[in-house]
Chain A
Amino acid sequence: MNRLVWRRWKSRIMVGLMIGAVVVAVAPLLLILGTLVARGAGSINLAFFTQLPVPAGETGGGVAHAIVGTLLMVGVAGLIGLPIGIGAGMFCAEYPKNRLATVARFVADVMNGTPSIVIGVFAWTLIVAKQKHFSGFAGSAALAMIMIPMVMRTTEEMIKLVPHSLREAALALGYARWRTSLSVVVRTCLPGIVTGSLLAIARVAGETAPLLFTALGSQFMSRDLNQPMAALPLTVFTYATGPYDDWHRIAWATALVLIMVVLVLSLLARIATRQRFDVRQ
């Protein structure tokens, strides 16, 4: 065969293979979402959101306890993690050459790569082992620790996108540094910071591993952060690995709810970022 013809064919074959790769890579998302809807949607009704689980073997019941638990734990994690993450990100952006900023950036990268199960072990030794009981608060602490480096890095990136000229304009008006930072710089990139926070919340709302031996999970409604607490991802795990068919049904439905929460949060965040903030320069 002519060499040039072969080379052209080779190019075509490789492109064909790559298109195949695109199809294979896109397929899992559609398959997973499709199965979730197919197997989970049927079990979702009002009772599913408002009732507690029934004893094993019986059918019916809901995951109200897990919804409340996830909301509470993620909420508290946000209350702890967002101020620290945003504050640390602001520090890195305001004082970029400060040695603390360099250290914090490096540490945040390390923490971002740390497996969440390891953070779970840390929260266990730090809180559960010392209090001698499992608690929703220990779960919140673990989730907060996962949020902090994520939020910190996005905050810094977003602040850096604000043109320096805006900062100078505010300083030239006599604004003190704190006012310049808060009411002009951070205010300008607030949509970006909100996006980063939403993504971090979405990420930790789906986390299971750090809750396994901190919040532990529960079959009861618990609003006390000092007690073991249920969460949607824990419920999926427990029910999926359990022996009963009805549990599997609930696992699918819970997973569907969980993924809706996570995807809606991520989509919201992405749409917000796409619009970006209008800094005309």
Chain B
Amino acid sequence: MLKTFRIGGIHPKEQKVSAGNAIQPIAIPNQVIIPLAQHIGAPCQPVVKKGDTVKVGTLIGKSVGFVSANIHSSVSGTVLKLDKTMDASGYRRDAVFIKVEGDEWEESIDRSPDLKKECNLSPGEILDKIAAAGIVGMGGATFPTHVKLTPPPGSRPEILIINGVECEPWLTSDHRLMMERTEEIMVGTTIVMKALNVDKAIIGIENNKKDAIEKFGKCAEAYPGISVEALKVQYPQGGEKQLIDALIGRQVPSGALPISVGAVVQNVGTVLAIYEAVQKNKPLVERVVTVTGKDVKLPCNILSRVGIPAANLIDAAGGLPETTGKIVSGGPMMGKALASIDVPVTKGTSGILLIPTLEAKRKAMKDCIRCAKCISVCPMGLNPTLLMNLTEFEVWDQAEKHRIADCIECGSCSYTCPADRPLLDHIRLGKGRVNTIIRNRKTNA
């Protein structure tokens, strides 16, 4: 029997219609808009000014603070202006506008397609290169990778877990990467193992990607210490804590990081970016975005530079279907609805999903019928209906006691609720408040 995590989970319809379509490039428009906040943590400080000439890979935003990541130009051309632009959530944030001229890359970047296996750098040098390249978690959370690969004092990583689960329905960008860039991901894995000083890595792939499992299985024979594991299809297996539970049977304690059980998890896309940064000196300036949806003419996987508007990607997929009611950045479970299609692709855009109006519309909330479905599907073992009520009545001490801060915001509770209650909306709000309370208590103590 295939492994999976032990509690909760759901199995939404997979809908991976673009799985067989090879990654295709997209034409670079005349202008790109590169936001200065593409990661969790402090936004970047711009280091270019109006009129500056940039090449692909030129540093344009320098990270400030510990949790932050550099941002590089994804095109060559001239900086038009530093201004605010509407981000995916509809708030206007700082960005660099670049007029595109040609496609000239920084000389230090090795653009040859040859596989470069040897890496003689020390762990410290690898981390420095990752930090310089501005790599963040490509699964969607966009947590700066060099921070994640720096274990806090007193903890020692034992095992590296590579996340090739892609449990979100519709999305296929990681699947295509695994099919087309297998060797590079393998080398990337060995580099991360070296950086962490671990000798064991497991690549976890859900069983709906049999071709990828087979390809990795064959490839892994040449790499000692790396094994491939097929997993039962179950959402949200791509969550760090769920994946650790599924693969090595360890449970991360409440409020702790995966490192507390000796595990470090990295997404396949991140590992590929690490390979490119360390071996080819290429900063993170492009990523694979799945553009898909029920009525989309040409569902596809596009290799897009950061800063290209979502509208261009939608055009490449055959244009905006008339039926579209909601455009989601990311997958249907955890993605966020876009406020406008002019928002640019960022490091964390794993997909653009066009949902027809009929399916997008939320149903009216009804009374809770106490069926406890949300409790049975919660992968963190929480009581979502209770947490929603505690948030509504602002009983923060009880919410904290019932571990609201452990919620991974996977949305399984809202998905399964027969009364269409917006459980996650409320819990997310309460989680934010409780986290603030906990933080304040820590700083005051």
Q: Do A and B bind each other?
A: no
- B interface list, Cβ under 8 A from A: none
